[in-house]
Amino acid sequence: MKVYLGRVDPEKYPAYKRRCAPAITRAALNGKIQFATLRSFMSDGAKNADSEKGDAGMHPPIKPGDNIVFMEEMIDMYVNHFGLGKVLWPVYPTLFADNFNELVDICVRDGLYLYDFWGFVPGSAPSGNSIWGEYAIPPAADRYMREKLGDHFFGYDNGEQDGRYVHAFAVRTAPLGGCRKEQYENFQAYFEKLFDVMKNHTVTLSSLTFLHYFAKEGNAIMIGAETAQALPSSVMWFAFIRAPPNNTVC
């Protein structure tokens, strides 16, 4: 057994230019390891709500017609004061804020990144203060972000969907499927719909070991996994994500 110690450069792989969504390169990251931070913003529509409730201290969800408030202050606190990272990882209702373009402009000005827009769950609708659910990406927000940020926009969220599929959806498939080929075709059909909604420009945060299927499709610009949970092993996860030099995973 040999351990490949060389650097993997996705742009040198022959299939790189044939992908519908080019993989993120070191050039886009300014040749550095970049860290993600700031997963939600406050809005004027929820300014009287309890902002301490929800996932990871998530603020009450932004509604269409709301404006993000304290935007500059929060970015300055997370990025500059605490130095947590330059990749902003906001929840998807951020896309619906009336002043979303202002957030994009700040990212352009300060050399920041926008990433993932988490919270998409196929086949469900948000309720109350929960944001988890299915939504359609606002075309105007998508156009502005791509035009202004270019490779500093890291795509939409395919977050833990392999785990949701296996644990919650696959067992409801009818007929269940007696062979692996049928099961694979069901898996592919499910995620083709998800990728179409995400405009075939996604980042993958896997909770199970199915991310190689996403990587080969050409519409995942970066792959990742929930390594902190050690399911089943963080060492295995990092080795699996890195991939051998002849693999299409970038």
**Count of CB atoms situated within 10 Å of the CB of 146:** 14
pLDDT cut 70: percent of the chain above it: 87
Bridge partners (DSSP) of residue 153 are 114
How much is the pLDDT for 249?
Answer: 39
Average pLDDT over the chain reads: 84
Listed ranges 62-76, 98-112, 130-144; the one with the highest mean pLDDT: 98-112
| Token pair listed for 86 | 């330059």
| Token pair listed for 77 | 């606190």
Q: What is the pLDDT of residues 14-36, one digit of tens each?
A: 888 888 888 898 899 999 999 99
246 has pLDDT over 70: no
Average pLDDT over residues 173-187: 80
How much is the pLDDT for 1?
Answer: 64
How much is the pLDDT for 244?
Answer: 47
Per domain, the residue ranges of the chain are 14-242
Confidence category of residue 196, pLDDT binned at 50, 70, 90: very high
- Higher-confidence residue of 6 and 136: namely 136
Q: What is the pLDDT of residues 117-145, one digit of tens each?
A: 998 988 777 766 678 888 999 999 999 99
pLDDT cut 90: percent of the chain above it: 42
How much is the pLDDT for 9?
Answer: 80
Q: Contact at 8 Å (CB) between 188 and 144?
A: no
DSSP 136: -
Q: Contact at 8 Å (CB) between 244 and 211?
A: no
DSSP 133: B
Listed ranges 27-41, 54-68, 156-170, 218-232; the one with the highest mean pLDDT: 27-41
88-102, 115-129, 207-221: the lowest-pLDDT one: 115-129
54-58, 153-157, 205-209, 214-218: the lowest-pLDDT one: 54-58
| Closest-CA residue to 86 (of 113, 116, 117) | 113
